[in-house]
A = this chain, B = another copy of it.
Amino acid sequence: MAKTQTKAAAKLPLNEILSGDCIEEMNALPENSVDLIFADPPYNLQLKGDLHRPDNSKVDAVDDDWDQFDSFAVYDKFSREWLRAARRILKPNGAIWVIGSYHNIYRVGSALQDAGFWILNDVVWRKSNPMPNFRGVRLTNAHETMIWAGKSEKSKPTFNYEALKALNDGVQMRSDWLLPICNGNERIKDDNGEKAHPTQKPESLLHRIIVGSTNAGDVILDPFFGSGTTGAVAKKLGRDFIGIEREAKYRKVAEKRIKGIRRFDKESLLVSTSKRAEPRVPFGQLVERGMLKPGDQLFSLNGRHSAKIRADGTLIAHDQRGSIHQVGAALEGAPSCNGWTYWCFKKRGEAIPIDMLRKKIRAEMRAN
């Protein structure tokens, strides 16, 4: 199994931009080989006539040839095909992010569910500086929608909860993200000074996605690579990327852009990790190592209960026997209990959570 994956990974065209149709190119890649896919598929915009600002200057709308689709049926077929190809190359625990607007996201979201992907969250990118609705006939279209989905219901995709919490000043990251659109220095211009790609995404958006849902060294594929924002941020953050882009002019823009980017140093790539990633320490080890002794009393954090430690690392309190978790849960009448934070021992009259002792052991383990 491990060997197969290594072999598959060895065949991947890492940190390259593939030329051609994304469905064909994805079909040529080995299955179960990619950790994350970020996709910004063409929008099914149906602009009737040109859109003008109040001063009659023309708005540079997204009206390139590749963005026109005859009907929902054609668009749906296209969506189903690229999603199927994308799903094949994803690792079993891989995930996908798709971004879209109301023109296409309901089609894409349905196709994604039908293909077997399992939605984890949808995320709203709130633009801090959206284009106003010049004619005053609608609400300002101030957001785009992203869908984050695992390859299947059974998938266990990477989610760096603590890192995203840190990015959000210590409170859970929500499903609505306020970020500016890509303009100013970041917006790539061509030789004529015009924007090199009509829908260049901001790097801040990809930063949050990549920090939140990949680990360093992961492979991120973008089937609609465009100006290469995915590749640029992946490189900065020490991830590998695979880009697919049909249009030569965009490939050229992206290649030049990514060449000029340097990876952040290793230490700053580390992000806050979850306790779940820490090695498990059985409570019995505290007894074996003499940090606590059989016969010692433990006291509940709320002071209402006490229990005695037995030689095998179980507790006994009245008629309750079992692990620190089981006895804690039973005494509290709770469905479950984290014994590590529930129980305290006394040292010079002071109650100290037994988790302090576990931390000590873990620090020793790290030192060795």
Could you list which residues of chain A lie within 8 angstroms of chain B, going by C-beta atoms?
50, 52, 56, 58, 72, 102-103, 105-110, 112-114, 119-124, 126, 128-130, 132-133, 136-143, 145, 147-148, 159-164, 166-170, 172-176, 178-180, 186, 202-204, 207-208, 211, 236-237, 264-265, 267-272, 274, 280, 282-285, 287-290, 293-295, 308-314, 316, 321, 323, 332, 334-337, 364-365, 367-368
Contact = CB atoms under 8 A, between A and B. Distances in A.
Contacts of A52: 335-336
Contacts of A280: 169
B170 A287 contact: no
Contact of A285 (B105, B145, B167, B336): B167
A130 B368 contact: yes
Which of A52, A137, A174, A203 is most buried by chain B, counting CB atoms within 10 A of its CB? Answer: A174
* Shortest 9 CB-CB contacts between residues of A and residues of B: A106-B109, A167-B284, A268-B294, A169-B282, A163-B312, A142-B174, A271-B312, A102-B122, A268-B295
A173 B137 CA distance: 11
A62 B122 CA distance: 19
A206 to B, nearest CB: 9
Contact of A312 (B130, B142, B164, B332): B164
A124 B120 CA distance: 18
B167 A139 contact: no
B368 A129 contact: yes
B159 A138 contact: yes
Nearest to A186: B290
Nearest to A368: B129
9 contacts: A121-B138, A141-B175, A166-B284, A169-B280, A179-B289, A211-B312, A267-B295, A267-B316, A269-B310
Contact of A271 (B288, B311, B337): B311
B312 A172 contact: no
A147 to B, nearest CB: 7
A208 B174 contact: no
Contact of A237 (B120, B145, B311): B311
A124 B293 CA distance: 25
A72 B139 contact: no
Nearest to A290: B203
A43 B139 CA distance: 25
A185 to B, nearest CB: 9
Contacts of A179: 285, 288-289
Given A264-B311, A365-B128, A180 B110 contact: no
A143 B203 contact: no
A139 B284 contact: no
